[in-house]
Amino acid sequence: MVLSMTGFATKTITLTRNDSSKANVNMSIKSLNSRFFETTCKLPYQLSNLETTFIKLFKKKLLRGHIHFTVHVHNQNVFQEVIEPSLNTITAYMNAIEQIKKQFSVQGDLSLDTLIQLPNVLRVQEQEIDEQSKKLLLQAAEELIDLVVVARQQEGAALEADLQERIVNLNREIAAIELAAIALVEEQKNKVSELLQEIAHDESKLGEARKSALYAILDKIDIHEEVVRFKSHMHNVGEQLAAQGLEKGKKLDFTLQELAREINTIAAKCSDAAIGSRAINVKVEIEKAREQVQNIV
């Protein structure tokens, strides 16, 4: 199975708090290509303490890619902080003011505007997420992850089908290159044979220039090793696609890089026009395959 790194899913749940108030929570995951596992979480302040737990869930099943996780809470007042007056602090301020008036014989009144500016007069009481709501949120996140996995599988199937087509094309082209190389070898052998016959009739013609030309012909015609290695890498691509593991993208990319090196060597060693044209086709197919592999987990 091949998994794409891209996928999207959304889910909405309703949380009922202990005081019977309700909140609709919309959660979404958008997964994009990335060399590594990355996360961007946009959570309401009240849910920020769950971010690490969410990330662990993503890492377990999504493995690789840039995961954008967004949670939006409708009717936010359910989770809003409660602001309360600190009566003990206010009483202490009022007593202190009365003492100042008596001891220093000063007059004046403390207005409400001034009072609420004093430190610690108002206190903020955070509304904590109850355990049942946490459980429902994490359960919903896991269900959402499963939906993303399904989306990744569907796109992964399309990627695999495209890669299989590239494999067929590459095997066809390398087979044609191999046949053309065999024909080229025979042609060059005939040329070498003619040179040897010419030399046999007149040994004086066997100068350094002729020797160099002869060795150059013999050296450039042999691409057998490169073709064998190319076929071996192609076999590895097929095995990697069929492997049971889920993380395949990086291995496939490395193998395709090896294929690119081999075809570059083949093209450099053979000046034959037909082989050169086939080599260009191979490079194009490898590039298409590498573009698709960048999307694979």
Q: What is the CATH number of the domain that holds 250?
A: 1.20.120
256 and 293 in contact (C-beta within 8 Å)? yes
2 located within any domain: no
> Tokens at residue 81, please?
């902080």
Identify which of 100, 212, 247, 227 has the alpha carbon closest to the alpha carbon of residue 173.
Answer: 227
Pick out the chain residues at pLDDT < 50. none
* Strands 82-85 and 122-125, bridge-based pairing: antiparallel
94 located within any domain: yes
DSSP string, 3-28: -BS-EEEEEEEEEE-TTS-EEEEEEE
Quick one: pLDDT at residue 219?
Answer: 62
Quick one: pLDDT at residue 127?
Answer: 67
36 phi, psi to nearest 5 deg: -130, -175
237 located within any domain: yes
Quick one: pLDDT at residue 110?
Answer: 82
Together in a domain, 163 and 223: yes
CA angle in degrees (0–180, nearest 5) for 160-166-170: 145
> Tokens at residue 158, please?
């399309």
Quick one: pLDDT at residue 53?
Answer: 97
86 located within any domain: yes
Quick one: pLDDT at residue 54?
Answer: 98
Together in a domain, 161 and 279: yes
Together in a domain, 241 and 138: no
Q: Which residues are CB-contacts of 226 (< 8 A; sequence separation ≥ 6)?
A: 262, 265, 266, 269
* Tally of domains in the chain: 3
Quick one: pLDDT at residue 154?
Answer: 96
Quick one: pLDDT at residue 206?
Answer: 57
The range of the structural domain enclosing residue 140 comes to 7-78+131-152
Within its chain, how far is the Cα of 173 from the centroid?
31
Together in a domain, 96 and 23: no
Sign of CA dihedral 144, 146, 149, 155: negative
Together in a domain, 266 and 281: yes
Together in a domain, 53 and 170: no
Helix axis angle, 273-293 to 131-201, nearest 10°: 170
Together in a domain, 101 and 201: no
293: buried, middle or exposed (CB in 10 Å: 19+, 13-18, 0-12)? Answer: buried
Quick one: pLDDT at residue 82?
Answer: 73
Helix axis angle, 131-201 to 249-269, nearest 10°: 20
Per-residue pLDDT reduced to its tens digit, 249-267: 999 999 999 999 999 999 9
Together in a domain, 146 and 104: no
